[in-house]
Structure 1
Amino acid sequence: MAGVLMLSFGVMMVLGLPIAFAMALAAVMTIANHPTLPFSVFVQRALIGADSYSLLAIPFFILAGNIMNVGGITARIISFANACVGRFSGGLGLTTVMSCMVFSGVSGSAVADATALGKVLIPGMKRSGYDPGYAAAITASASVMGPIIPPSIPLVIYALSVGKGVSVAALFLGGVIPGLLLGGGLAVVVYLISRARKYPVHEAVPMREVLRSGSKAIWALMMPFVILFGVTGGVVTVTESAAVAVLYALFVAMVIHRELSWRQLWSICVQSGLDSAVVMIIIAFAAGFGWLMAVSGLPREIAAWIGAFSDNPWVILILINVLLLIVGCFMEAIAAMIILIPVLIPIVEAVGIDLVHFGLVIVFNLMLGLLTPPVGILLYICGNFAQVKIERVVREVLPFLGVGFGVLAIITFVPEVVLWLPRLVLQ
């Protein structure tokens, strides 16, 4: 059964089917070759996987990000970031990193960050003389911070998949320092490469201009703190905080900035519905696929193999990281999480690895997969904005991937980087 499932899935992926349909068709073919399982079982498991109140946070965060983008809030974030760091070598690249860092505190999605900011910043960098592949690589790499810095859609999905009382608030807080480390590392690489290539430097902006752009962006800058403090303070649940983020974004865009009309709001809701549907169909089909894999006994065999290989937690983490890096090259991150988490959690629990720490390791690792071909969706999104072939983006993204691997090593082998802030705030 496991052989038919994995072989079918591999064939579908090679044929280029979208990940959700590859999982669904592989499951159907497996059930067709099983003497007792009815076809309805896959539909039932898929519906159960998608039927969760907590998953409502996903469309709400997507909607909040889209409202901010159309309502002029994103433009103010970019303007403030440019005023702060535009004077340095690679100023526009640094602006991209800083803008992604701020926008990450709203959207919770790497794709949302790349789409919202890439369509503005990549053409801007090209006009300033940046290599198009380099401009795309900066934006793609910085967008990885979207699911690391809270809020984070993948961390919500991880908490739901694990259960066992894993706190979403702890996961959100655990992502703050790794996200800042990644942003800082990317900024250093952008500065060094841009200085070596002699990319243009903007004139220094007077402090009063920095303060003025900061005052315009203050509502956007406050939003991540509203979400984070609401969740960690016990005022709202994660799902409720996502709804609050939508109301907050609506208030700022329609009342404070007055750049969003009711007519635009309808198109935003339609687009957010489409974006949410893509995520939810992956979650649903991955749940059915994962259930079939569990029934086949494959997770137990993998767990037994890793457990027999070593009982040292550091060795286990290295093996899991290698596995995730390989999987991330070929599978969409959310689907990989739903399929692999039931396999990996018993292994890490057996060797005493903290589940909050492991949550950040698995999410960070799979987010790096967004920068690796052949799937690497961020490479394609940003390459499209830059109007260059994917090969040029891949070449330019390698130094930034090196930063990502370095931060992954830090959070893997120094758990306190992840756990210090949750313990400080929640205990």
Structure 2
Amino acid sequence: MTFSMVVLFGAFFTFLILGTSISAGLALAGIFTLSLQIDFGSLSSTIGEQIFGGLDHFGFLALPFFVLAGAIMNQCGIAHRLIDFAMLIGRRIPGSLWQTNVLANMLFGCLSGSGIAAATAIGNIIAPIARENKYDMPMTTAVNAASAPTGMLIPPTGAFIVYSLITGGSASIVALFLAGYFPGIVMGLAVMVVAYVYARRRGYASDKSPFRLAEVAGVLWRAIPSLGLVVLVIGGIVGGAFTATEGAGVAVLYSLVLAICYRKLTLEKLIRVGMETIYASGVILFLIACSGLMSWSMTFASIPDQIGEILTSISSNKYVILLMINVALLIVGTFMDMSPAMLIFTPILFPVVTDLGVDPVHFGVIIVYNLCMGIVTPPVGTVLFISASITGEKITRVIPPLLPIFTVQFIGLLVVTYLPAFSLALPRLFGVM
């Protein structure tokens, strides 16, 4: 088992260093490990069976549907409407433009299902206004980057669908969706708190103008149809009107109708949306197929059991092991994107934590929260690089204001980790656990 584990991880990281794609690295590492366990005659058939079998689940159909819905919403001018709504909520708080950025990322991120899409759409609108109002641009970049992944915790989000299917349905998608609300809000509030303190120190004034009824009604009228997507999809899934996969189809239909009503979806945009969906879905599903082969080879070689024994030999305390897992995932997140990291480490860590009595839904929230922070940290912090490219700031100037935000977000991670009721309150309230 020890030799199999060395071969598996040694081969995978060697391929990464050589510049091989993550998907190919996953598949080849799994093949090398399997070659130690079964004869060559059975190897090729086993490989094909596991790669195609890894996608043989109806629930995976929800992924391309949610990707398509997010792409449509991204093309039909939703960002401007949500920014107006966020500005209405946050304009009385010092650093109102930063507060608006965070709220808009939380709202748009959960609709698009992508931290990258949120950082791009919201950042491109906020950055010019921030520069015009003489806001500190490194801090503006940090706020946009750190708040963009919040929508990947707030449902509907593909990350929880992938986690649920990796764990074989041990954690229901409905329960995971509901469990993501409070942690997602906490991650966003962490950014707002630091931005508030920073704005007070810099003497940034808030907007003291009175709220006019006509203005408020107009902003709400423009924003409610977009926010209705979340209410419809989550309400329908929790209420039992449709499954998560059917809910994804409803999200596509709703987004399409909304885009047509807004007269924003031209033929050219529709083709672009289709191409984006095909590309993104293809990448995700191919990753899942290759990771399925690697996961099966790990299970076949009893590698998760051995890792569990290693962790429990260090400490038998559940809370110490959870802290070690958090630190490990934060480190992993600095050099690996969310999807491959989740696909690789969930099969390894899931048996360990469940044997310790950690609820599968609770662990799903922990792992997604960790990896949401990871996609902002260099050297592979995609969201950070996108935010910096929008504002034109150097990464070295963005890191200092980013560090206090990460500190507060890490405190939020500890709350999520050690207070399970914080995540599980809503699933239990609605009776889905």
Band the TM-score falls in, shorter-chain normalisation: over 0.9
Deviations 1:171-217 (A, max 9, x none): 11111111122222221211211232344655636332233111111
What is the CA–CA distance in structure 1 between the aligned matches of 2:405 and 2:428, rounded to whole Å? 30
What is the CA–CA distance in structure 2 between the aligned matches of 1:283 and 1:194, rounded to whole Å? 43
Q: Aligned letter for 1:83?
A: L
Q: Which residue of 2 aligns with 1:308?
A: 313
Q: What is the RMSD computed on CA atoms of the aligned residues?
A: 2.3
- Shift of the 66–164 alpha-carbon distance from structure 1 to 2, 3 Å rule, reads closer
Contact 1:154 1:363 in 2 (8 A): yes
Q: CA deviation at 1:391?
A: 2.6
Deviations 1:45-89 (A, max 9, x none): 222223322112112112112211211222111112123323432
What is the CA–CA distance in structure 2 between the aligned matches of 1:34 and 1:425, rounded to whole Å? 45
- Shift of the 116–288 alpha-carbon distance from structure 1 to 2, 3 Å rule, reads farther
Tell whether 2:16 aligns with 1:13: yes
Tell whether 2:52 aligns with 1:47: yes
Tell whether 2:353 aligns with 1:348: yes
Q: Aligned letter for 1:10?
A: F
Tell whether 2:28 aligns with 1:36: no
What does 1:128-207 align with in structure 2 at a 5 Å threshold?
A: 128-199=133-204, 201-202=206-207, 204=209, 206-207=211-212
Q: Which residue of 2 aligns with 1:420?
A: 425
What is the CA–CA distance in structure 2 between the aligned matches of 1:34 and 1:178, rounded to whole Å? 41
Q: Which residue of 1 aligns with 2:226?
A: 220
Tell whether 2:10 aligns with 1:22: no
What is the CA–CA distance in structure 1 between the aligned matches of 2:396 and 2:281, rounded to whole Å? 30
Contact 1:383 1:389 in 2 (8 A): yes
Deviates more, 1:137-146 or 1:29-38: 29-38
Gaps of 5+ in 1: none
Contact 2:138 2:393 in 1 (8 A): yes
What is the CA–CA distance in structure 2 between the aligned matches of 1:392 and 1:39, rounded to whole Å? 51
Tell whether 2:253 aligns with 1:247: yes
Q: Which residue of 1 aligns with 2:6?
A: 3
TM-score by length of 2: 0.91
Deviates more, 1:28-37 or 1:322-331: 28-37
Tell whether 2:96 aligns with 1:94: no
Q: Which residue of 2 aligns with 1:322?
A: 327
Deviates more, 1:359-368 or 1:34-43: 34-43
- Shift of the 63–200 alpha-carbon distance from structure 1 to 2, 3 Å rule, reads farther
- Shift of the 30–165 alpha-carbon distance from structure 1 to 2, 3 Å rule, reads closer
Contact 1:231 1:237 in 2 (8 A): yes
Contact 1:232 1:426 in 2 (8 A): no
Deviations 1:153-185 (A, max 9, x none): 111111111125422111111111111222222
| Aligned length in residues | 426
Of residues 385, 390, 404, the one that matches 2:390 is: 385
Contact 1:87 1:201 in 2 (8 A): yes
Of residues 403, 410, 419, the one that matches 1:398 is: 403
Quote the sequence identity (%): 37
Deviations 1:220-277 (A, max 9, x none): 122211111111111111111111111111111212x222223321221111221222
TM-score by length of 1: 0.92
Deviates more, 1:79-88 or 1:268-277: 79-88
What is the CA–CA distance in structure 1 between the aligned matches of 2:168 and 2:31, rounded to whole Å? 28
